[in-house]
Amino acid sequence: MNDDLHRIPIKGGVTSPGELKDSITMLESAGLNQVYFGSRQDLLFPLDASQTTTLENTSVYNTNIIGDRSFQNIVCSYVSADIFEMTHWLKGSTYLYILERFDYLPKLKINITDPKQRLVPLFNGNLNFVASEQEDYWYLYLNLPDVGILGYYPVLIYSWDIVSVSRTIERVYQTTEDLESLFALLNQTLDTNNKNIDKPLEIPYLTFPYYEGMNRMGLDQYWLGLYWRNNRYDLNFLKDFCGFCLDNSIGKICITPWKSFIVKGIKQKARAELERFIGQKGINVRHSQLEMNWHLPVDDEDALELKKFLVRSFDQNDISTYGLTFGISNDVGKRSHFASVIIEKNQPPSIVKDFSVRPTYNVLHFENFDPNTHNYISYAQDVDKIELPGLLMELSKKYFQQLGLEKPSIEEVLTKETSEIPVFQCSACLTIYDEAVGDPKQGVPVGTAFEALPETYCCPVCEAGKSNFIKTKISLEKV
């Protein structure tokens, strides 16, 4: 993501047409004509820092405009409620009540989700609340790698305790050593209505949904999904669309993590007018799912062009990607994506940083092609762009070959026993040197100790020197 972009956080991606129209009016007053949607269901835009105070003062809703990347928007699956399969007790109003209780801007990433939907990621936050089968109770999966706290909280969290638990964890987690001590500290600090976990979290494998166009919702209502290929949403269109929603008593607009938005509760009598409005604006509402199942960095022309190239290749070869999702990342080694398949763009070696060189890519996929497993599998390293279509087509076939076969549960995958082995990692690009593997491309045989490498040894990816490598450990599954 472009860290220079400012944000308007929209809790859970849920806003009213009036609030969104107010934000759009502010952005237009700054001379902007478009806005991006972020993967954490917020609004992103370029803004001169000197304009921030002026814009905040124009908002009748006291909208927060944030340039500090340390604050995080709350993600939730309200957008899926009532239109995709749901946990039996979980209603749209439940999300809204919980979100309303958040009276602070969190620095930890918080996800509040239904495990029976696939549109919103379950586990790419730091605090991941996942609905259980017990009414108003949630599993909590913590992912706080900077302090080594990873795993399930030992009890279920009551809906109305989510905010107090989140706030307290954010305040104290860096003072604790592990999950057990964090749990003990929260028990001493908070009076909460917890419940014992009577069975592990079960998450059904679901294919990625098609979420665009006009779709029936109940007997006399519809929901509409809109998607822009380049994630550049025209402010004038959005403002007019908000006006339509206000005129037709549509209360909520929902931003998805896939940089699109969904509007629910469109009355039967308003459908024809809405279709006419969209048609007059020239909006395409029937994109191929080949295009809609991608997650790209915001405001990144290179990533968008790569996606177009790959989608064209899929289309020309009649390749199905139904149920699969793809992501493009500029952060090699970052493990917080939520697409089935990840294409990492390697940074060019420092020795040629002033020259134009063709980039290379790594291809990874989640175990069982399910982002909820958190376990990445490397499929190809340092490949040229021209090789990517063939590799992704191979992965697509591999996905369909294993589809429907019995797989370990998410609980088993997330808690499987692992062992750690020492390795040396390049601090510039995170490439691993494993003594058990050596570096055959540079003539280093298997079993060569790192200390025995010549001082002229350099990283095979970014060409950083030997002194840039740091000793660390990686986890391997025990067989």
State pLDDT tens for residues 257-290: 999 999 999 999 999 999 999 999 888 888 888 8
And the tokens for 11? 């809790």
> Is residue 143 a contact partner of residue 125, using CB atoms and an 8 Å limit?
yes
- Asked whether residue 26 is domain-assigned, the answer is yes
Is the pLDDT score of 56 beyond 90?
no
Residues 252 and 359 in one domain: no
Interatomic CA distance for residues 187 and 165, integer angstroms: 10
The answer to whether the Cα torsion of 330, 334, 340, 344 is positive or negative is positive
> DSSP assignment, residue 318?
T
Is the pLDDT score of 1 beyond 50?
no
Question: Alpha-carbon Rg of the chain, whole angstroms?
Answer: 24
And the tokens for 276? 């006419």
Which residues, listed in sequence order, are joined to residue 362 by a DSSP beta bridge?
A: 344
* Residues whose CB is less than 8 angstroms from the CB of residue 206 and which lie 6 or more positions away in sequence, other chains included: 85, 116, 117, 118
Is the pLDDT score of 60 beyond 60?
no
Is the pLDDT score of 64 beyond 80?
no
Output the pLDDT for position 427. Answer: 72
For the stretch 196-250, pLDDT in tens is: 999 999 888 888 898 999 999 888 899 999 999 889 999 999 999 999 999 999 9
Name the band, by pLDDT with cuts 50, 70 and 90, for residue 463: confident
| 421-459 burial code (b ≥16 CB/10 A, e <16) | eebbbbebbbbebebeebbeeeebeeebebeebeeebbb
The separation between the first and the last C-alpha atoms of the chain, rounded to the nearest angstrom, is 37
Output the pLDDT for position 308. Answer: 94
Interatomic CA distance for residues 74 and 112, integer angstroms: 8
Which residues, listed in sequence order, are joined to residue 37 by a DSSP beta bridge?
A: 43
Overall number of domains in the chain? 3
Higher pLDDT, 284 or 16: 16
Q: What angle (nearest 5°) sits at the alpha carbon of residue 420, between those of residues 418 and 426?
A: 130
- Asked whether residue 192 is domain-assigned, the answer is no
Domain limits for position 71: 1-122+203-287
* Residues whose CB is less than 8 angstroms from the CB of residue 208 and which lie 6 or more positions away in sequence, other chains included: 118, 119, 289, 293, 322, 323, 324, 325, 340
Last residue of a domain, one of 272, 287, 302: 287
> Is residue 310 a contact partner of residue 392, using CB atoms and an 8 Å limit?
yes
Residues 282 and 309 in one domain: no
Which residues, listed in sequence order, are joined to residue 435 by a DSSP beta bridge?
A: none
Interatomic CA distance for residues 233 and 32, integer angstroms: 11
- Asked whether residue 198 is domain-assigned, the answer is no
Residues 269 and 328 in one domain: no
Output the pLDDT for position 444. Answer: 87
Last residue of a domain, one of 237, 258, 287: 287
Residues 354 and 372 in one domain: yes
Residues 259 and 363 in one domain: no
Interatomic CA distance for residues 117 and 208, integer angstroms: 9
And the tokens for 418? 């692992």
- Asked whether residue 149 is domain-assigned, the answer is no
- Asked whether residue 193 is domain-assigned, the answer is no
For the stretch 81-136, pLDDT in tens is: 999 999 999 999 999 999 999 999 999 999 999 999 999 999 999 999 999 999 99
Output the pLDDT for position 349. Answer: 67
Q: Is 103 helix (H, G, I), strand (E, B) or coil?
A: coil
Higher pLDDT, 437 or 119: 119
Output the pLDDT for position 122. Answer: 93
8 C-beta neighbours (distance < 10 Å), count: 25
CATH number at residue 453: 2.20.28.10
Distances (CA, A) of 85 to 176, 256, 258, 264, 265: 38, 16, 19, 15, 17
The answer to whether the Cα torsion of 276, 277, 282, 287 is positive or negative is negative
Is the pLDDT score of 405 beyond 80?
no
Name the band, by pLDDT with cuts 50, 70 and 90, for residue 478: very low
Percent of the chain with pLDDT over 90: 56
Q: What angle (nearest 5°) sits at the alpha carbon of residue 111, between those of residues 109 and 115?
A: 155
And the tokens for 461? 């990816």
Interatomic CA distance for residues 73 and 369, integer angstroms: 27
Residues 393 and 455 in one domain: no
Per residue, what are the HEC states of 30-88?
A: CCCCEEEECCCCCEEECCCHHHHHHHHHCCCCCCCCECCCCCCCCEEHHHHCCCCCCCC
Residues 363 and 437 in one domain: no
> What is the pairing mode between strands 376-384 and 360-366?
antiparallel
- The amino acid that residue 239 corresponds to is K
Closest CA to 240 of 197, 196, 274: 274
CATH number at residue 113: 3.90.480.10
Distance of CA 249 to the CA centre of its chain: 31
Residues 9 and 107 in one domain: yes
- Asked whether residue 296 is domain-assigned, the answer is yes
Average confidence (pLDDT) over 167-187: 94
Residues 450 and 341 in one domain: no
Residues 302 and 401 in one domain: yes
Residues 24 and 99 in one domain: yes
Average confidence (pLDDT) over 435-444: 82
Interatomic CA distance for residues 158 and 267, integer angstroms: 34
Output the pLDDT for position 120. Answer: 95
Higher pLDDT, 323 or 223: 223
Is the pLDDT score of 479 beyond 50?
no
Is the pLDDT score of 477 beyond 50?
no
Output the pLDDT for position 138. Answer: 98
- Asked whether residue 35 is domain-assigned, the answer is yes
- Asked whether residue 424 is domain-assigned, the answer is yes
Average pLDDT, the chain: 86
Last residue of a domain, one of 406, 428, 452: 406
Residues 450 and 388 in one domain: no
